[in-house]
Chains A and B, each alone.
Chain A
Amino acid sequence: MAAALLCWGACGLEAAAAVRVLASGHPVVLRSAELLALTGVNIVLTPLGAFFVLLVAMVAVPATLHGIGYAPHGLSGRMAACTVPIFVTVLLLVPAAGSVATFMVLWELMALSSLALVLADQARRESVRSAGTWYAVITHVGAALILVAFLILAAHSGSQTFVALRTSARHLALPWRSLAFVVALVGFGSKAGVVPFHVWLPKAHPEAPSPVSALMSGAMVALGVYGIVLFGDVLLGGGPVWWWLVVLALGAASALYGSLYAASSTDLKRLLAYSTTDNVGLVLLALGASGLFAATRHPLLAALGMVGALVLLLNHAAFKGALFLSAGSVQTATGSRDLDQLGGLLRRMPQSGALFLVAAAAICALPPLNGFIGEWLLFQSLLHGVDIGNTAGDVAIPLAVAAMALTAGLTVVAFVKAAGIGFLGRPRSTGAESATEVPGTMRFAVGLLVGVCVVLGVLPTLILPAVERAVRAALPGVRQVTLTHGVGLQLVGLRGMLEPAALAAAIVAAVAGVTALRRILSRRPAPTVVEAWGCGRQLQTARMQYTATSFAEPVGRVFDDVLRPVHDLDISHAAESRYFVEAVSYRSAVDDSIERVLYRPPIAAVRRWGQLARHLQPGSVHRYLAYGFGALVVVLAAVAVLR
């Protein structure tokens, strides 16, 4: 409780500063030489950073509120109570860092505090520790790469403030600039969960306590994208076409890979983790397109792409935060996050269930919710960039649209599965059967984020001026790209227009109209409750329903080559004759292909070498003395030869 209050205080203070920066367009600067030895603290809150501060605050307030009710299920104790406020504060400060040292210190604090929170539940479950190891290794390799990228720039400039780096980076030779960009892209991409550095997401997100997952997926991953924008657009000021084609390709790969694995996951939080990779992929798609347009001298399109990227990121924070918190509520109520153990929760948890359904509809980009606005902006920026006069770009854009479309379709599969199998139908376990509604604070916390989804979907014009201010800070010299047209949305200089509020009103009016029509036309308006027909089958049981596994089977079969599911069929025959089957057991699992191909072999090799090296150390003193003697002989021989 006190931890939550501390977090809200920090969020309130920084959000107020962020709103001021976005309203005025002038950065807030704080410097202190005493606070951090040798380098001092350098805080510069630019409009771009301010946008990310608001995004973090938007997730942090509901997540910590939800944490109060969630605490007894894995977020209790002194360690969590003091780490959560540190994590939230650091998340809020990273986008405000104004120098390399300040940034790296905050970045490292963010990694460490989140690692401590991922491990919060390690006493109870073994799998948490392995997830923590994966996360720790990848996040620190990433941080080291980010440091290298900063060092390349700082060595040239001789200073470490971002302002100085920005002015000197323009005179840096292109190979060095490219090297810095690629290294930074890998470093920040690993934090953002971009393929192939995403492997920690489906491990750490499910094992972390749900409010922490919401913070990590909604806010921390967004800061990875902030890093890419900071490096590519702000510090380096854009670059050649191939940089952005790489970003575009990474984005498309992440979006497709993430959505495909989300569609075939049966663990609710693992599904959400893969869906984070998918959404970040879409953001990178928009960023890549934006950079591509900037490199081919289309500043208006570049700004539109960047607006799309930031709106997608804000939307993702809202609905993914809501979904992870909902998953926490489900885990609290049923004790499980395996979709094949859930079912029928909408009847038992009517409010939590309804909130999950709305958030799922938002992530599927159904109008009139916020996901739709983001995808529309992305589509518009790609559409108007079809003919930019660069051959590679001309081929890349339609492929990007195709990737975005397949991603959208697979996202629908994933979330119809999550909502339909988890919340509808019959309960598949006693835990789901006896589930009851979670405390009011938890429902309210999810409701806040779902409210954001609805408001941003109907009235995106509320937030667009702030987004544009942030974009203008990242891309100097661009004009306004969107206009509010009444309550509608219009693109400046391009023929694109959307009226989300009118669309929402039309949908609501039509639903009301059709409901009334059904009431008038039918003779007996109140429905009679009967047993489900099921093609005439008597006695429906929970085991006859489709499960999450069977629901995803068609997708799994179509994309067999990517997913490579492992099937395991065991048939035990009766002793009398092998024509009589006693028991059939079937298991299938979908492992992460990239983990299997790129990560497992090196890990296995290192382990094998380690095993071999163990033979050198049997614990015998004689052997060690022999090693010492041997080494001495070798050294003496070397000295004798070299003289």
Chain B
Amino acid sequence: MTAASQMIGPIVASFTQVIAVAGSGLILIGLLRKVRAHLEGRVGAPLIQPLRDVRKLFRKERLRPDQATWIFPLAPVVLVATVGAAVAITPLITTHPAMGSGSDFFALIYLLLAGSTLLALAGLDAGTAFGGMGSSRAVTIGALAEPALLVTILAMSAAAHSSNVPAIVHATLSDPASVATPQRLFALGALLVVIVAEGGRLPVDNPATHLELTMIHEAMVLEYAGPDLALVSVGEAMRLTLLLGLFVNLVAPWGIATTTGAAALAVGLVVLVAKVAVVGAALAVFEVFTAKVRLFRVPELLAGAFVLALLGVVSGVVVR
């Protein structure tokens, strides 16, 4: 492999990841809805319905509430941009994305935090009651999910002696037995709960609701319309896809490309889509049988996740 292709390869891989996640993110949302509809005895909208919705939204007029500042139009852009940057440096299709050496788990989480923090600010920007309600709840749940999230990362990283995500994935690939260690299993359980909370899925938040008293994320973005709302939808879908993609690559990284050749990337893409679709469908099945919990019961759920993650770290030290 020449020097030039070593430079170009990861960049091509990263672009492929961003385009794949941006494209398939909305279809994943469509899949979740479809599975749910089937289990509820409905036919449901076609898989590409979210894509059509976004296309329709882009054609609409851009609206800005009279009290809003530059934060309001900036937030959706930053959401999509930070999620996109996080997708670009995460090993989803290949273990060699661009800037892979700087692909730190901690940095990924804080990139995602930047997008959600700005969105929470935008919720307060229009000066309405609902925006503030959504922001307040969203940042509270985000704060409570943080300990479980970081301790999970600690548990994952401790085995590989690095918080570099490609290094963690490589460590799993070279030692498949490490997936079944108690350290990993506890941590993955915790990560799953955190993904449900951060992704705004049941039982923490109901993405389909517009009932005032239960909304979290939807209340925060209530004032968005047209292209800005389209960006919010795309950003949220990309974020869920990224989190699920990261999860499947931590559970079972097999099939991920370890080079940046075109054939390997194609295989990696197909495998990733299949794995995420399976996990996404499982999530949808789980959601059918779950009711949203009260807002003030969510801390208990997240505390449970935190205990799991802590068990993960401690068992890693004990079981040596």
- A: residues with CB less than 8 A from B are 263, 343-344, 346-347, 353, 357, 361, 364-367, 372, 375-376, 379-380, 382-384, 386-387, 394-395, 397-399, 401-406, 408-410, 412-413, 416, 419-421, 424-426, 488, 494-499, 502-503, 506-507, 510-511, 513-515, 518, 521-535, 537, 540, 542, 544-546, 550-555, 557-558
> Which residue of chain B has its CB nearest to the CB of A423?
B69
Given contacts A405-B149, A518-B231, A550 and B163 within 8 Å (CB-CB): no
Within 8 A of A (CB), among B48-99: 58-59, 61-69, 71, 73, 77-78, 80-82, 84-85, 88-89, 99
Given A343-B127, A426-B127, CB of A408 within 8 Å of CB of B146: yes
Does the CB pair B130–A534 fall under 8 Å? yes
Would you call A424 and B127 a contact (CB within 8 A)? yes
**Closest beta carbon of chain A to B252's beta carbon, Å:** 23
Q: Which of B133, B163, B223 contacts A496 (CB 8 A)?
A: B163
Binds A, one of B174-182, B239-247, B256-264, B309-317: B309-317
- B285 within 8 Å of A (CB atoms): no
- Give the distance to chain A from B212, nearest Cβ to Cβ, in Å: 7
The count of A-to-B residue pairs whose CB atoms sit within 8 angstroms is 283
Do residues A554 and B154 form an inter-chain contact, with CB atoms below 8 A?
no
Q: Is the CB of A554 within 8 A of B137?
A: yes
Provide the bound-state CA to CA distance between A347 and B74, in Å: 15
- Contact of B158 (CB < 8 Å), options: A383, A406, A494: A383
Q: Please choose the segment from B30-38, B109-117, B265-273 that sits at the chain A interface, where 4 or more of its residues have CB less than 8 A away.
A: B109-117
CB distance from B83 to the nearest CB of A (A): 9
Q: Tell me the complex Cα distance, A406–B313, Å.
A: 17
Stretch of B2-10, B100-108, B201-209, B274-282 that contacts chain A: B100-108
CA distance A455 to B147 in the complex (A): 29
Given contacts A394-B317, A502-B99, contact A534 B117 (CB under 8 A): no
Residues of B within 8 A of A412 (CB): 113, 117, 120, 139, 142-143
Contacts of A551 in B (CB 8 A): 132, 135-136
| Chain A residues touching B, majority SS | helix
B169 interface contact, C-beta 8 A: no
Top 7 closest pairs, chain A to chain B, by CB: A546-B132, A409-B143, A499-B102, A420-B124, A495-B162, A510-B81, A425-B127
Q: Are the CB atoms of B81 and A409 closer together than 8 Å?
A: no
In the bound complex, do residue B163 and residue A386 qualify as a contact, i.e. CB atoms below 8 Å apart?
Answer: no
Docked pose: A405 CA to B142 CA in angstroms: 11
Specify which chain B residues have a CB less than 8 angstroms from the CB of A496 in the assembled complex.
Answer: 104, 162-164
- 1/0 contact string of B37-53 vs chain A (CB within 8 Å): 00000000000000000
Which residues on B are within 8 Å of A, measured CB to CB?
A: 58-59, 61-69, 71, 73, 77-78, 80-82, 84-85, 88-89, 99, 101-102, 104, 106-107, 110-111, 113-114, 117, 120-121, 123-133, 135-137, 139-140, 142-147, 149-151, 154, 157-158, 160-164, 167, 212, 222-223, 225-228, 230-231, 295-296, 299, 306, 310, 313-314, 316-317
Contacts of B167 in A (CB 8 A): 495
- Contact A530 B140, beta carbon cutoff 8 Å: no
Set of chain B residues within 8 Å of A510, measured between Cβ atoms: 80-82, 84-85
With A383-B157, A426-B67, A540-B127 in contact, is A413–B139 under 8 Å at CB? yes
> How far is it, in angstroms, between the C-alpha of A518 and the C-alpha of B82 when the chains are bound?
15
Among B117, B296, B310, B316, the residue within 8 A (CB) of A366 is B117
Residues of B near A550 (CB, < 8 A) are 132, 136
Q: Which of B62, B129, B140 contacts A544 (CB 8 A)?
A: B129
Q: Assuming the A-B contacts A372-B110, A404-B150, A498-B104, are A531 and B130 also in contact, with contact meaning beta carbons closer than 8 angstroms in the complex?
A: no
Q: How far is the CA of A563 from the CA of B114 in the complex (A)?
A: 28
Known: A387-B317, A544-B129, A546-B135. A514 touches B101 (CB 8 A): no
Chain B residues with Cβ under 8 A from A502's Cβ?
99, 102
Knowing A372-B110, A425-B126, A540-B127, the reply to whether A405 touches B67 (Cβ < 8 A) is no
Alpha-carbon distance between A534 and B225 when the two chains are bound, in angstroms: 12
Taking CB as reference atom, which chain B residue is nearest A367?
A: B110
Beta-carbon nearest neighbor of B82 in chain A: A507
B104 touches A344 (CB 8 A): no
B281 to chain A, nearest CB (A): 29
* In contact, A506 and B99 (Cβ under 8 angstroms): yes
Residues from chain A with a CB closer than 8 A to the CB of B89 are 506
B interface: dominant SS: helix
Contact of A531 (CB < 8 Å), options: B65, B88, B151: B65
B64 with A529: CB separation less than 8 A: yes
Q: How far is the CB of A274 from chain B (nearest CB, A)?
A: 15
Beta-carbon contact of B317 and A425 below 8 Å: no
Cβ–Cβ < 8 Å partners of B102 in chain A? 488, 497-499, 502-503
Query: Assuming A379-B150, A496-B164, A514-B80, what are 12 further A-B pairs, CB within 8 angstroms?
Result: A372-B110, A398-B310, A398-B314, A409-B139, A420-B121, A488-B102, A494-B161, A496-B163, A506-B85, A511-B78, A533-B222, A540-B127
* A503-B107, A551-B135 known; A402-B310 Cβ under 8 A: yes
A524 and B61 in contact (CB under 8 A), knowing A416-B121, A531-B66? yes
* Among candidates B104, B121, B150, residue contacting A405 with C-beta atoms closer than 8 Å: B150
User: Could you jot down 25 A-B contacts, CB within 8 Å?
Assistant: A346-B71, A364-B117, A366-B113, A376-B104, A379-B106, A397-B313, A398-B313, A401-B147, A402-B306, A406-B143, A409-B143, A409-B145, A412-B120, A420-B125, A495-B167, A496-B104, A496-B163, A498-B107, A521-B227, A522-B62, A522-B226, A525-B62, A526-B62, A534-B126, A546-B124
By a CB distance below 8 angstroms, the chain B residues around A488 are 101-102
Partner of A530, one of B63, B120, B299: B63
Assembled-state Cα–Cα distance A530/B117 (Å): 25
In the complex, chain B residues whose CB is within 8 Å of the CB of A523 = 58-59
* A554–B81 CB distance below 8 A: no
Contact of A545 among B129, B150, B228 (CB under 8 A): B129
Q: Smallest CB-CB separation from B132: which chain A residue?
A: A546
B117, B142, B150, B154: the one contacting A386 at CB < 8 Å is B154
* B84 and chain A: residue at smallest CB distance: A510
Q: Are the CB atoms of A553 and B127 closer together than 8 Å? A: no
